[in-house]
Amino acid sequence: MLIFPLKPQQASTFSVAWDHLFYFLTAITVFFSALIFAAIFIFAIKYRRRSKDEIPRQIEGNLKLELIWTIIPALLCVVMFVWASRLFIENSIPPAASTEVFVVAKQWMWKVQHPEGPREINDLHVPVGVPIKLTMTSEDVIHDFAVPAFRIKRDVVPGMYSTEWFEATSTGRFHLFCDQYCGMGHSHMVGWIDVMPQDEYARWLTSQMQAEPMAAAGQKLFNQLGCDSCHAQTGPKGPSLRGIVGQTIRMQNGQTRLVDDAFLREAIIDPQPIAGYPNVMPTFQGQVSEDQILQLIAYIKSLGGPPERKGTKP
């Protein structure tokens, strides 16, 4: 109990770059705090009141000093801003070759689906050295997927998909925390990221025999819910979904929309009329869970289409 760490584990590519920025900010903080503390101590001792009626010489101010201690901090702020913003932007774009994993948060657990089929709760198995892109949503309140060892964190918001990515650099088990207060069981919404060697991960995937790939589960749902009656092939009521992912389509209100995960989710929950088709699609809100929507999307994506655009829009 007496020994405690002073530094979090460093287990992702981003954590290295993040720590450099953190050390820089810490150095600035220590330097200026030391400067102010030293000045206070020296002035307080050197210029202590020596007699009751002492009146010191009055100094009005000094424009040159004011400019110096405005401009130097301002320049340092510019450096911090540029450094931190660049790092943030770089980190917000997952590499094109990322492996996708889907996360659905609910009070108070993390549900994970791998495209190959395995599902996990409060646990995420990933291979080391491979960029992993998480597509996340929530069934109820706002949660937050945070892995301190990877220095990543992103709110998981109901009604939308948020994404984050990481590439683990060492194997092991790392804490997954919910960082956005989500109600009574918030502090129990804790899980693990299991980073495995790549071959071991491949064995783990195949060992999950009971698992059905997400796309296959999605296809079943697609037929079960009757999606196929309008969308199996292009007909009067709706377009075929073959190859639709990644395309830009025109809505009846004149907007154009990119068909991506977020659009497909919206089209299932809250469909808006598409140009050239009648406004007949019903909403499936309440009939499909967030997990099932992700399976439907996985199936629609498996139907082919232009490769997904690099990254996702911010």
Residues 97-116 that bind other proteins (CB under 8 A): 107
Query: Is the backbone of residue 243 left (phi > 0), alpha (psi -120 to 50) or beta?
Result: left
Q: Which residues contact 221 (CB under 8 A, 6 or more apart)?
A: 227, 288, 292, 295, 296, 299
Q: Measured from the CB atom, is 139 or 200 closer to other proteins?
A: 139
- The widest CA-to-CA distance across the chain, in whole angstroms, is 97
Minimum CB separation from other proteins for residue 142, in Å? Answer: 6
Q: How far apart are CA 82 and CA 75, in angstroms?
A: 11
Q: Is 208 exposed, middle or buried (0-12, 13-18, 19+ CB in 10 A)?
A: middle
Sheet holding 109-113, edge to edge: 119-121, 109-113, 99-106, 131-138, 162-167
- 140 vs 228 by CB, closer to other proteins: 140
Asked if residue 288 binds other proteins (CB under 8 A), the reply is: no
Q: What is the dihedral of CA 132, 138, 143, 146, to 10 degrees?
A: -10
Nearer to other proteins, 78 or 121 (CB): 78
Yes or no: say if 12 and 153 are a contact pair by the CB < 8 Å rule.
no
- Interaction between residue 48 and other proteins (CB under 8 A): yes
Given the rule CB under 8 A, which of 42-50, 109-117, 208-216, 298-306 is the region that contacts other proteins? 42-50
160 is a site residue for other proteins (CB under 8 A): yes
- Binding residue (CB under 8 A) for other proteins from 101, 112, 178, 214: 178
**Contact letters for other proteins, residues 194-233 (x by CB under 8 A):** ----------------------------------------
Q: How far is CA 285 from the centre of its chain?
A: 25
Q: Which stretch binds other proteins (CB under 8 A): 121-129, 152-160, 236-244, 276-284?
A: 152-160
Question: What burial class does residue 297 get, using C-beta atoms within 10 Å of its C-beta: 0-12 exposed, 13-18 middle, 19+ buried?
Answer: buried
Query: Interface with other proteins includes 23 (CB under 8 A)?
Result: no
Using DSSP's 3-state secondary structure scheme, residue 172 falls into: strand
Nearest to 263 by CA among 213, 227, 313: 313
x/- site string to other proteins, residues 241 to 270, per CB under 8 A? Answer: ------------------------------
182 touching other proteins, by CB under 8 A: yes
Residue 1 interacts with other proteins (CB under 8 A): yes or no? yes
Instruction: Using DSSP, state whether 156 is helix, strand or coil.
Output: strand
Say whether residue 39 binds other proteins (CB under 8 A). yes
The stretch near other proteins (CB under 8 A) out of 88-96, 228-236, 271-279, 292-300 is: 88-96
User: Where does this chain touch other proteins (CB under 8 A) — which range of 181-189, 210-218, 248-256, 276-284?
Assistant: 181-189
Burial (CB count <10 Å: 0-12, 13-18, 19+), residue 54: exposed
Stretch that binds other proteins, among 180-188, 200-208, 229-237, 299-307 (CB under 8 A): 180-188
Q: Does 29 bind other proteins (CB under 8 A)?
A: yes
Quick check: 311 binds other proteins (CB under 8 A)? no
